[in-house]
Amino acid sequence: SQKIEQNSEALNIQEGKTATLTCNYTNYSPAYLQWYRQDPGRGPVFLLLIRENEKEKRKERLKVTFDTTLKQSLFHITASQPADSATYLCAPANQAGTALIFGKGTTLSVSS
C-alpha cells in the first residue's frame, strides 16, 4: 500500500539555522508533491508544489527538492525564525487527479 514517512515527529533547532525536513514515499509514483504548513487549531496552508520533472523549487527562505529515484523530497527553511515553528506536511499527488495523501507531519520548533 502507499506509504508516506516524514522524518521524526519533532525537530528542534536554533534560530538562524537551516531546518531540513524529509518526506519519503513508497509504492507510489507521484506526478508532483506539495508541502503544507499547519499551525495549532488551524487548517493546513499551502507552501510549495514541485513537479516530478523539477529537481528544486525555491520561494523566499524555502527550498524543496524532489528525487524520484530515491522517492524522497527534502524541505529546507534557511535562516529559521521562531515564527517558522509549526507542523509541516508533505503530500505527494498522482497524475489522474487532485487527491492528496498526507504524511503525518514533522513539528518544527525554532528557539531564539
Binding site residues, other proteins, CB under 8 A: 32, 34, 42-46, 49, 89, 93, 97-105
Distance of closest approach, residue 49 Cβ to other proteins, in angstroms:
6
- CA dihedral sign, ordered 67, 101, 58, 22: negative
Alpha-carbon Rg for the chain in angstroms: 13
Distance of closest approach, residue 17 Cβ to other proteins, in angstroms:
26
Distance of closest approach, residue 57 Cβ to other proteins, in angstroms:
13
Q: Which is nearer to other proteins, 75 or 105 (CB)?
A: 105
Q: Which is nearer to other proteins, 55 or 104 (CB)?
A: 104
Other residues' Cβ atoms within 10 Å of the Cβ of residue 80: 21
- The rounded distance, in Å, linking the Cα atoms of 40 and 26 is 28
Query: Three cell numbers at 54?
Result: 523539477
SS3 84: helix
Distance of closest approach, residue 76 Cβ to other proteins, in angstroms:
20
Q: Which is nearer to other proteins, 62 or 93 (CB)?
A: 93
Q: Which is nearer to other proteins, 62 or 100 (CB)?
A: 100
73 within 8 A of 55, measured Cβ to Cβ: no
